[in-house]
Structure formats: C-alpha cells, structure tokens
Amino acid sequence: MEQYKLFIDGEFVDAKDGKTFESIDPGTGLPFATVAKAGKADAEAAIAAARRAFDKGDWSGLDVSARIAKLQDFADQISRQGVRMVMTECMDAGQIVGYAKIIVMWSSLLLRNLATYAATKFPWEEEVLASGNAFTPGREFVRREPVGVCVGIVPWNFPTTLAMWKIAPALIIGNTIVVKPASNTPLTAVILAEAAQAAGIPKGVFNVIPGPGGELGKTLCTHPDVDKIAFTGSTEVGREIMRMASDTVKRVTLELGGKSANIILDDADMDLAVEGAVFGTFLHQGQICESGTRVLVPSKIYDEFLDKMKERAEALRIGYQLDPTSHMGPVVSKEQLATVEHYVKLGKEEGAQLVTGGKRVEVKGMEGGYYYAPTIFANVNNKMRIAQEEIFGPVVCVIKYDSDEEAVAIANDSIYGLAGGVFSSNIARAERVARAVRTGTMWINNFHVFAEYCPFGGYKQSGVGRELGHWGLEEYTQVKRIHVPYYSDRNTNFGFTLLSDNKKIEGFNYNCPTNVIAGHGCLSAIYKVIVDLGCRRAMILTDPGVRKAGLADLVKNTLVDFCVGIYDNIPPDPDLESVDGAVDKARELKADCIVSVGGGSVIDAGKTVCVALKNGGKANDYINRWWALSEPQTPHIVVPTTAGTGSEVTNAAVITDKIAERKLFIADPKITPNAAILDPRFTMTLPKDMTVGSAMDAMTHAIEAVTSTMANQICDGQAFHAIRLISENLPLVVADGKNEKARLNMQIAATMAGWSFTIAQVGLAHCMAHTVGTLHHVPHGAACGIVLPHVMRFNVDHAAGKLALVAQALGIDTKGMNERDAALAAADAVEALMKKVGHPMRLRDVGVPEEDLFRCSLHAIADSNILFNARPVSDPMDVYNIYRQAY
C-alpha cells in the first residue's frame, strides 16, 4: 500500500505520535493506502509553521505578480500529477472516473484562472473618490490585505476540488493555510502538497494534516494564531466551529448542508426536466451538498414525470468507479451506506411511496463495496423528515404542487438555502420563480453547474460567506482604509478643534468652478455655453411667476432648438415631491441639461434634479448627503431672477423634507452649476419685498462667511465687497427697480457672497432662518435679515475684528471706536439699512408664534451650519434668547 505523510513547514513528516490510518476504497471496502494521522501536536506545528511563514512575509509580502507566477507553477505541477490524482480521487471518494477526470482537471484550471483574475482585475487598491466627509478632504483609498493564517477543512465528497476552493483564494491573496482533508479521503490533498513543494511554494505557506476532525477541530478552531477558518461540512459541525471561532473572533466561511428544491414548472420540456432531476439527484450518488433532492412537480404532469424519472433512474448503471461505463459508483463509506438505509426506512415509516430503489446493490467482483440503488420516493409531504433532512445519498423526494407560488413556498420551507433549479420553457417565468427562492444559487434548465468566477454559498443554515469568484477572494482579505488629508496642519484640522478652544480653521480649499457671465444682454451666451457643455436637449426649470413674467420663454427662444421643454411647477422652498415631478418630466423629455431660470428655490431644485437625473432614483435618495458624488452631474446652467441666494455659484442645495420638518442639504462640489448668466434684465421686475429679502439673504451670507470659523482671505475679499455693494445698491434698487446698473451690482454682490460662503460656510443666523422658514414659512431672506443683527451681537466677542471690518464695508466711520464698539455698530448699521429699505424687523411681523420659539431653538441648534458659527453654540437657551430678542 502507498504511504502518505503529513506536510508541515515544507516537509513530509510522520505524525509526532507515529499514528497512521487506512484509506478505504469504497468500491471494494478494502484499504489501499496508509496515511499519517495528525494529532494535536501536529496541528499546532502546522499552525506555527503557517504563522511563521505569514509573519516572515516571504509569501504575504510578495509582489502580487510574483505570487501569481508562483501559483501558475503550482497549477502546472498539479497538472503533471493529473492521472495520479484522478485515480486517487476515484479510489478515495468513489467518484466515477468520467466525473473525476473533469473536476480534478478543474482544480488546476481554477487555481490558474483565479490567479490570473487576481493579477489583472482584482481591486487590490481602490480609490474612494467621494468620502462623504466634508471636513477632512484628502486621498482616501482602500487596500486589500491577506487575513493571515487560514484553516481549510475539506469534506470527503470532492476532496481535491473543495480543497482547491480554499487553497487557491487563500494563497492568491497572500495568506498561509493549513488544510485538514476529510479522514475518508485524505490523499489528494497530500498530492497537492507534493505539487506545491515541486513548484517552490515557500515553506509553511501550505500545510496538510490528515486526521480526525473531532480531535483536530478544537485546536484548529480555537488556536489564537489562526485568523480564518473555511469549512465545508455539516451544519451541526459548522455551528460548533463558528462558536469556537468566536472566542478569538476568527473570520469564518461555512458551506454547509442543503436540501435543494428542483422545481419543474408545467411548461417544462419533459425530457429535459426528467434528465435534470436525475442528474441533479444521482450525480456522485447524491453525495453533493446542493443536490436537488426535493423535486417539485405540478399535479397535472406528476404521474407522467414520475414514470419517466423512474425509468431513467433504473437505467443508470451502478458499478466500480474506475469502470468507465459506470454512471454511479459507491457511497463513500459503510457509515454513509447505513445512514442512507436509515433514511429510506424512515421514509417508508413516514408513509412516502417508494417508487424504485431503496436497496443495496451488489456489483460483481466488488462485493465489499458500498453500492446503493438510485431511490425515488413519491407522494412525499414536505414536512416529512426525508424532505427536511439532508440524506447525502442517492435518494430523492418527488413532491406534488399546484401553483408556482406553492412551489416557491415548498422550496423555501427548509432550514437550508444552498441551491436549487427551475425547469421551464419560459425563461421569464423561471426567473421569477428563481428570484423568489431563498437560496444561494439557482439554475434554470440546468443543475450542478459551477464556474470559478461564479460565487457559491448558502442562505439560512446552509452557510456563511461565499466561495469562488471575486466574492470568494474577498473572503480571504482584510480591508484597510488609508487616509491622507489635504492638510497636515494642526490649525486646519476640523476634528482637532473639538478638543481645542481655538475653532478657527486656517487652511482652505477654494473650488468654485462656475463659469460666470455678467452684463446686460448676456443671456445670448447660453447658446454657446450649452454647446460647450456637449448638450442638445435642455429642459428649462422655473416657477409659475417667472414663467408668467415671460422670462422662461425669453431663455427658451435664446436656446432655439436646444430647448426640449419647460417645467414651471417649482414652488417656493421646494420639497422632495416637487423635485421628483421635475425629474420625471426631464426623464420623459430625455433632457441632457437643466437650465434653471428663477431664484434660489428653482436653482436648488435644479441642482437636485441634475443629481437624480444623473444617478437615477428620487430626490430623497440624495438629500442630506455631503461630498458623496464622485463624478460630474447632469450639466446645469442657471439664470438667476433674484439677487440673493448665490445658489448660481454654490455647492449646496436646500430641499424641504416635510416629514423631518427640516430643510435638508445636498452639499457637494459636484453640484455647483456649470454656468451662471447674470443678466440684469432678469431681476428688473422683481418686486420690492423680494428684492429686499433676497438682498438680506446675500448680506447674511457675506457677514456669516467672514465671521465663520472657516473664513479665509479669498472669501473675505469677496464678502466685504459684496457687503459694500449691497449697502450701496440696495437702497437704489428699492428706490428705482429699473436701475439696471444697481440691479447688476446686486447680482454681482449676491454671486460674490455666494462664492464666499461656499468655502467659508454660514452660521447661526442661517440655522435660525432655516428653522422659521421650515416651521412657519417665513421667506428665507426676511428670516435671515431679522435675526442677523442679533446674531452679530451674540458673536461680538468671538468676531469683533471681522465685524468691525463689516462696519467699514457698511459705510460706518469706525475711527475712534474700539473694535468691539465698531463690531456692534455693524449690527446697528444692518438694522438701519433694513429700516431704510422697508425690511421686516421682528419675527412677530412675519407670522412666527411666540409660543413656538423654544421649539424653533431646538431645531435650529441641530442645523449643521451651527458648526461654523464664530461663537460656539451648544445651549438651546442661547438660541432661544436670540429668537426672543428678534421677536
């Protein structure tokens, strides 16, 4: 008899206690090889070797291409052992030779192909282009690294293939592995070790320890140096492995039992379905986890199907596995044979009808072999134990059903969910059924089809994780995120400010890419701008008032044939539903560009429409997301009809969420409009109250930007000039709405204020304004104006220098004033300007109920802009007091 040894640390060795065991040929019942029997000490030695090899880095630290090249050598060496491996697999596991030669060859191909995939397509490093963190920009990337020392516990039904399912991904990723083959079938794993040694796989990277699972399992599954366990076997043992592994929190993948349903639909090709049922059940004597051992057949074809299946099963030739004419060989052991007999007996006791089989088969000249006839039970109730428990032998239950829904319900009535099949001449119908079955694999008009790039694994108690393909490789990786910030500076680290009294952020990233075109008649530029953006189908987005004023049609006429339609149903403070309506229209029109003609509400809706158009879904899918977009959105051109929001150049959109009672944001550089056309003709008809309100919105942007913790010199420059322009020009446009020069200056001021707060952010005044806008429908600009002077006074001791400069921009002569007084004078000047232009001065004037001020303060303090306010705000009573002052 051939003698096989353990393979530990690159050497073939005897067990430390010298024990051996015999491997039995199930076709004869006779031993044909002896194998060293590993014990606890051998398992510990193998784990130690694997640990040393991993930590040394000769394998895990290899360049991927070098490691893959070595594995290609390994695959070649397996091929060289091909005939020996096929013969050994047959004699060890009882596989018929016609099958063994395919799947053993596949083991080599699997290794080669997965290795090539890993070398060429596996994402060893991935960039996270949009991190979702607005405060700490930088490079974010993910590395895939090996887990460490893996243990592969292999079953006896496919000893070579299922060993390779674990060895290949483990080694490809850079892990080391200890393989424990099944005691019934230990030999081919040792031959794989010979191939590995011949290929020069470094010592300790690959170890094989045949031996009893009950004895070795505890060591393998609890040893602290083991990082991952991959097990294929029974659910009972898998459950115990999972429990043991939990003590040291090992990664676990489990491929466990199954009781798969093979659903024959009433329109199936009868001959194909019968063949599929026979193949799905009796291949390898039914000793396959995913075997379709519950064949579900419609009542109206049940008898015909059963007759044909019986005829086909009885035609299968049972013989010695190395006889090339055999269709079925022996089951793997006498214990397995006894188990099959036990379940057949149980089936009869449960009242199932034995249609054929149900007995041992004697093969001439092989009287000691473990042969069993293909067995069919009819009239099986799915609750019977033979329908619920895996038998792992050539025994099938044929179950009757009356509708597709009933078939799915029966299929799902199992603790398992490993695989299944559907046979139908209607692929769409078959796919509907396949989708409804809770299982890891579904084959349509086929069964037992595996491929190295397709995942395999179970739902429910059939397992955890997946083997094969990309998904199988991932199971052997650790994911490491690496963050490299824009700024390596303690004063530009937003997070560090949480533990510091200095909240000021020094560094900044100014990214304001909008193409701004300004001046009388500049609308005509849109005809070129849209071409430059590569667009031909613009949908104009606007509101009913702007449409009525003829402004949207003016844009439409300028776009000539490039306008595919106008959507004019955007309300003030747009909510999710109104945005979704616009998205639906844009999709219907096949728009490739949005042109927003309106104020901030329309432009913000336009930004959101662009995101939904680009990425699919609804507005709700994208709100409250910061820095989450990784590529340019649907092109967006804006033609503002107000001078205030600055939305034409900002990277934020505000949408009302009625359920949350909040205004929620999308904040992302990728939603910044591509072009803004500041043609003063579009603001000439703006009513006085809206002119004033939107101007105070812009004023608030500018003042909150300069006092923000994120303020910087570029933003300051823009903000101070915006303040100056508003202070000088707002009274002029109030006095004469047709003053085109002043209107243009107000547009420019709003745009500059928009640029300033895009980077520097806003603060408490905006938080408070957002709140009363959402809860009490106070126009945003009016709300901003009312609370702004009070917030300026609240902030005075944290932003006195900046506010003093604001005073100067507002035209105050601050000579002789100390900084604090000058800062307070700025607040007074804002109030004076508001009075001059007829702006509402108190919250009571705009419909905010006094009794709701405290609730407003609770909402306002939860607004994200609170983070950037010059003075830290943590107490809602502070906010409440400001509301009261403004009331």
Partner 1 sequence: MFCPAQTMSLVTLNPGAGHAVKSALAEKGVQGPIRIELRFTGCCDASLGLSMDTAHESDLVEEVDGLTFVISPETHQLVGEVRISYADETGRRGFVLTSSKPVSEWDGFAAGSIRM
Positions annotated as catalytic residues are: 255, 289
Output 385 or 435, the one with its CB closest to partner 1. Answer: 385
Let me know how long the chain is: 887
Output 194 or 255, the one with its CB closest to partner 1. Answer: 255
In the complex, the smallest distance separating the C-beta of residue 214 from partner 1, rounded to whole angstroms, is 4
By CB under 8 A, name the one of 7, 54, 59, 156 that touches partner 1: 156
Spacing of C-alpha 676 from chain mean position: 35
Q: Which stretch binds partner 1 (CB under 8 A): 389-397, 768-776, 793-801, 853-861?
A: 389-397
Binding mask 391-410 for partner 1 (x = CB under 8 A): xx------------------
359 binds partner 1 (CB under 8 A): no
Give SS3 for 857: helix
- With a CB cutoff of 8 Å and minimum separation 6, the contacts of 148 are 51, 54, 175, 176, 227, 228
By CB under 8 A, name the one of 83, 338, 427, 451 that touches partner 1: 338
Binding-site size for partner 1 (CB under 8 A) equals 43
Output 183 or 493, the one with its CB closest to partner 1. Answer: 183
Output 237 or 376, the one with its CB closest to partner 1. Answer: 237
334 binds partner 1 (CB under 8 A): yes
What is the rounded distance in angstroms from the CA atom of residue 792 to the CA atom of residue 799? 9
For residue 655, how many other CB atoms are within 10 A of its CB? 25
Output 238 or 673, the one with its CB closest to partner 1. Answer: 238
In the complex, the smallest distance separating the C-beta of residue 350 from partner 1, rounded to whole angstroms, is 12
Q: Which stretch binds partner 1 (CB under 8 A): 10-18, 74-82, 213-221, 628-636?
A: 213-221
In the complex, the smallest distance separating the C-beta of residue 849 from partner 1, rounded to whole angstroms, is 58
Start-to-end C-alpha separation, the chain: 99
342 binds partner 1 (CB under 8 A): yes
In the complex, the smallest distance separating the C-beta of residue 468 from partner 1, rounded to whole angstroms, is 16
List binders of partner 1 among 216-245 (CB under 8 A): 217-218, 232-240, 243
User: From edge to edge, which strands make up the β-sheet containing 294-298?
Assistant: 353-356, 375-378, 395-401, 294-298, 261-264, 420-423, 443-444
161 binds partner 1 (CB under 8 A): no
Output 419 or 860, the one with its CB closest to partner 1. Answer: 419
For 372, which DSSP code?
Answer: B
Helices (H), 440-534: 469-474, 526-532
State how far the alpha carbon of 206 is from the alpha carbons of 30, 476, 727, in Å. 30, 15, 78
Output 213 or 763, the one with its CB closest to partner 1. Answer: 213
In the complex, the smallest distance separating the C-beta of residue 770 from partner 1, rounded to whole angstroms, is 51
For residue 738, how many other CB atoms are within 10 A of its CB? 9
By CB under 8 A, name the one of 161, 175, 336, 651 that touches partner 1: 336
Output 354 or 684, the one with its CB closest to partner 1. Answer: 354
What is the identity of the amino acid at 283?
L
Enter the tokens of residue 273: 């379905």
Output 246 or 426, the one with its CB closest to partner 1. Answer: 246
Helices (H), 669-712: 688-707
In the complex, the smallest distance separating the C-beta of residue 33 from partner 1, rounded to whole angstroms, is 16
List binders of partner 1 among 745-784 (CB under 8 A): none
Do 356 and 310 contact (CB within 8 A), yes or no? yes
In the complex, the smallest distance separating the C-beta of residue 161 from partner 1, rounded to whole angstroms, is 13
Q: Which stretch binds partner 1 (CB under 8 A): 94-102, 214-222, 700-708, 864-872?
A: 214-222
Q: Which stretch binds partner 1 (CB under 8 A): 100-108, 138-146, 312-320, 390-398?
A: 390-398
Q: What is the CA radius of gyration of the chain?
A: 37
In the complex, the smallest distance separating the C-beta of residue 629 from partner 1, rounded to whole angstroms, is 45
Spacing of C-alpha 687 from chain mean position: 48
In the complex, the smallest distance separating the C-beta of residue 153 from partner 1, rounded to whole angstroms, is 10
In the complex, the smallest distance separating the C-beta of residue 334 from partner 1, rounded to whole angstroms, is 7
In the complex, the smallest distance separating the C-beta of residue 378 from partner 1, rounded to whole angstroms, is 21
Long-range contacts of 577-586 (CB under 8 A, 24+ apart): 578/605, 579/605, 579/608, 579/609, 579/612, 579/619, 579/655, 580/612, 580/618, 580/619, 582/541, 582/606, 582/609, 583/609, 583/612, 583/613, 583/618, 583/619, 585/539, 586/539, 586/613
What is the rounded distance in angstroms from the CA atom of residue 591 to the CA atom of residue 269? 46
339 binds partner 1 (CB under 8 A): yes
Do 762 and 855 contact (CB within 8 A), yes or no? no
Q: Which stretch binds partner 1 (CB under 8 A): 3-11, 388-396, 779-787, 846-854?
A: 388-396
Nearest Cα to Cα of residue 181 among 93, 49, 72:
93
What is the rounded distance in angstroms from the CA atom of residue 362 to the CA atom of residue 879? 90
Give SS3 for 1: coil
Enter the tokens of residue 251: 């990664």
Binding mask 167-206 for partner 1 (x = CB under 8 A): ---------------xxx----------------------
212 binds partner 1 (CB under 8 A): yes
What is the rounded distance in angstroms from the CA atom of residue 819 to the CA atom of residue 821? 6
Nearest Cα to Cα of residue 68 among 110, 22, 115, 21:
115
What is the rounded distance in angstroms from the CA atom of residue 613 to the CA atom of residue 564? 15
214 binds partner 1 (CB under 8 A): yes
By CB under 8 A, name the one of 275, 341, 350, 553 that touches partner 1: 341
List binders of partner 1 among 613-652 (CB under 8 A): none
Enter the tokens of residue 668: 């992302």
By CB under 8 A, name the one of 246, 353, 488, 509 that touches partner 1: 246
Binding mask 284-303 for partner 1 (x = CB under 8 A): ---x-x--------------
What is the rounded distance in angstroms from the CA atom of residue 594 to the CA atom of residue 464? 47
What is the rounded distance in angstroms from the CA atom of residue 528 to the CA atom of residue 164? 61
List binders of partner 1 among 683-712 (CB under 8 A): none
Q: Which stretch binds partner 1 (CB under 8 A): 115-123, 338-346, 707-715, 752-760?
A: 338-346
Residue 870: its H or E element? none
Output 56 or 460, the one with its CB closest to partner 1. Answer: 460
Binding mask 433-462 for partner 1 (x = CB under 8 A): ----------------------------xx
What is the rounded distance in angstroms from the CA atom of residue 371 to the CA atom of residue 27? 8
258 binds partner 1 (CB under 8 A): yes
By CB under 8 A, name the one of 27, 94, 146, 155 that touches partner 1: 155
In the complex, the smallest distance separating the C-beta of residue 402 from partner 1, rounded to whole angstroms, is 29
**What does the binding site for partner 1 look like in residue numbers (CB under 8 A)?**
155-157, 182-184, 212-214, 217-218, 232-240, 243, 246, 255-258, 287, 289, 334-336, 338-339, 341-343, 389-392, 416, 461-462
